[in-house]
Structure 1
C-alpha cells in the first residue's frame, strides 16, 4: 500500500470517530431528564466543532433527536435548523428552542421549503401562520398576474412610483442595502419599549434626519414604513417582522398579511428609494397624503 492509501484510511477512520462521538454525545444528552445549563453548553462545545465532519444521516439523526428535547443546545439547534429541510424538518415542526423571531428569520433565509415545514407546528403564532399562507399562496397560483386584481394594483403602483421618480429627477437620496447588522438593529429597536430606539435605527439605516424617520413610522398606518424597508432591500419576511413589531395590530388577518406581501413584492427598490427621498424632502404634511394616494390605486 502507498502512503496515500494510508492517508485515506486515516481520514476515514477520523471521520468515523467524529460521527460516532457526535451521535453518542447527542444520545447521552437526550437521555437526561433535566439537563443543566452546563450540560447544554457542553453539548454545544462538543458537537459544533464536529459538525462539518459528520454525514447527512448523522445531522438528520441529531435534528430528530433534539426536536423532542425540552431544553436543547441553542448553537447546535440553530446550525441544524439552517440545514436543508430534509434534515431540519423535525426541528422546524416540533422544537421549542425555536421562537417566533428565529422562525421568521429562517423563513426569510430559506424561503418556502422551510416555511411549509414551520407551518406544521402545533403552537405556531397566528401572525407567522398568516405569513406562511400568504407566501405559499402566490407560489401555488398559475394564473397570469394580469388576470388577478392584486397584480393589476401592483402594476399601477409601480407605474405611479416610476412617475414620481421622473417628476423628481430620480432619487436624490442614496440608501445602501441593509446588511445583517442593519436588520438586527432595526429589529432590536422595533422590539424595544422605546419608539425612539427604532426611529434612530431607521434614520441611521436610511441616512436621514431623526425627524424624517419619525414621520416615516406611524402606528396607525405602516405603508410609509413598508416603502422605507423596501428601499433598504430587506427580504419580505424581514420587513414583515419589523413592521409587525413596530406597528402592532397591523395584521389582524390573512388578507392583511397577503396585501403586505403583494405590495412589498410589487415595489421596485429604486422606486422606493425615490419615494423615501421625496417624503423626507417635502416633510410630514405631504408624506401621509402621498401614501394614501399610492394605496388608493
Structure 2
C-alpha cells in the first residue's frame, strides 16, 4: 500500500471522496498481516485530517474494523475513542492499542457509558475494574460534585472547604488499590505523553523521587525542575490540597497522566474514589499553561524579594563598619 494507491482512490470521483478514501484506506490497512511503522504513520497522516469531514457511519465502520486489527494506529484509535459510545464501543471492548492509562483517561473524560464498555474487555486490569464498579454504585461514595474551577486560587479554597466532608475508604484497601494503580501507570507512563521526547529526564526524576515516599527527595527534584529554592518547593507539597503542586506540574507542561501519577504518589489520600480522579483531570485541563507559568514566576519573585530583604541588614551593617573603625582610631589618637 503506497501513497500512489491512495491518490488513485482519491481521484476516482469527487463525490464523497473523503468518505471513500477514509474507508478504503482503513480497509487496505487491515488487510496487511504485519504493517510496518511507515505504513502505520501513513494511515494516520491520511485519515486524521479527514476525520472531521466523514459521517458518523464511516467512523463507526472504521472503529469496528480497527477493533480487530492487532497493529491499529494508536493516534487514530484514541481519536475514535473520543466519539460517542455507539461509535467507539468495539474499540473500547477489544482494541489492543489502548493501554491502561488510556482507559483511565477515557473513563475520567466520558464517565459511565465508556466505563461500561471498558468493563467488557478481557484481561482488564483489576484496579480499573474496581474503579468501574465504584462508578456503577455511586451511592457507596457520596461526594458533592464541585463547580468548574477557573483559577488556581479558587481551586485551593474550594478544595480546602470540601476536604473535611470527603469520605475515606478503609485505609488498607484504599492504599493497596493506589499502589497497584501507581505501579500500573509507572509501567506505561512513558508511552502516553503528549510529547514523549520533551522533558523526559525531568519527568523521570520527579516520578522516581515521588515514588520513593521521601518528601525531601521529591521537593529537591521539584526545586531543580522549576529553578526555585528548596523552601518554596517544600511549601508546595505541605498544603492539604494538591492545587499548588498542580500548577507546578502544569508549568512543566506534563501530560495529564504523568501529572496524575506524580500527584497520586505525593497525595495518595486525595484519590479514594474515581470521582476524585475525574476532578483532578478537570482541574488540570482548566489550568492553562501560561497561567501556571505566571504562578511559577510569582514564586521566583517572592524568593528574590526575600533574598533582597535578607541581604539589606547585612549591607547596612557593612556600611556602618568603617565609621566604627574611624571612631576607635580617633580614641586611640587622643589617648596617645
TM-score if structure 2 supplies the norm length?
Answer: 0.48
Checking the alignment, whether the CA contact within 8 Å between 1:134 and 1:261 is kept in structure 2 is: no
2:70 maps to 1:55: no
> CA–CA distance in 1 between the matches of 2:162 and 2:67?
48
Checking the alignment, whether the CA contact within 8 Å between 2:101 and 2:257 is kept in structure 1 is: no
* 1:36 aligned partner: 36
Cα distance, 1:98 vs structure 2: 0.8
Checking the alignment, whether the CA contact within 8 Å between 1:15 and 1:54 is kept in structure 2 is: no
Checking the alignment, whether the CA contact within 8 Å between 1:189 and 1:198 is kept in structure 2 is: no
Cα distance, 1:193 vs structure 2: 3.1
Cα distance, 1:135 vs structure 2: 2.8
* 2:73 aligned partner: 73
127-136 vs 95-104, greater mean Cα deviation: 127-136
> CA–CA distance in 1 between the matches of 2:141 and 2:260?
25
Checking the alignment, whether the CA contact within 8 Å between 1:67 and 1:95 is kept in structure 2 is: yes
* 2:113 aligned partner: 113
Larger radius of gyration: 2
Cα distance, 1:94 vs structure 2: 1.0
Residue-pair matches, total: 217
Distance change in 2, residues 1:126/1:204 (3 Å):
farther
Among 172, 193, 196, the alignment partner of 2:208 is 193
> CA–CA distance in 2 between the matches of 1:213 and 1:115?
37
110-119 vs 33-42, greater mean Cα deviation: 110-119
Cα distance, 1:39 vs structure 2: 1.1
* 1:130 aligned partner: 130
> CA–CA distance in 2 between the matches of 1:136 and 1:228?
32
SS in structure 1 of the partner of residue 208 of structure 2: coil
TM-score if structure 1 supplies the norm length?
Answer: 0.54
* 1:91 aligned partner: 91
> CA–CA distance in 1 between the matches of 2:23 and 2:163?
58
2:25 maps to 1:25: yes
Cα distance, 1:26 vs structure 2: 0.8
1:144-182 per-residue CA deviation (whole Å, 9 max, x = no partner) reads 99xxxxxxxxxxx947769xxxxxxxxxxxxxxxxx99x
Checking the alignment, whether the CA contact within 8 Å between 1:216 and 1:224 is kept in structure 2 is: no
Distance change in 2, residues 1:91/1:200 (3 Å):
farther
Cα distance, 1:56 vs structure 2: 0.2
1:241-281 per-residue CA deviation (whole Å, 9 max, x = no partner) reads 5455x369x69xxxx8439849x79xxxxxxxxxxxxxxxx
Checking the alignment, whether the CA contact within 8 Å between 2:141 and 2:273 is kept in structure 1 is: no
CA-based RMSD: 4.9
SS in structure 1 of the partner of residue 123 of structure 2: coil
> CA–CA distance in 2 between the matches of 1:160 and 1:78?
34
Structure 2 spans left out of the alignment, 5+ residues: 1-12, 145-159, 166-193, 211-215, 251-255, 281-336
SS in structure 2 of the partner of residue 129 of structure 1: helix
Cα distance, 1:136 vs structure 2: 3.0
70-79 vs 190-199, greater mean Cα deviation: 190-199
> CA–CA distance in 2 between the matches of 1:217 and 1:240?
15
> CA–CA distance in 2 between the matches of 1:36 and 1:77?
17
> CA–CA distance in 2 between the matches of 1:55 and 1:104?
28
Cα distance, 1:111 vs structure 2: 2.1
Q: Which has the higher contact order (CA 8 A, sep 6+)?
A: 1
* 1:258 aligned partner: 273
Distance change in 2, residues 1:203/1:131 (3 Å):
farther
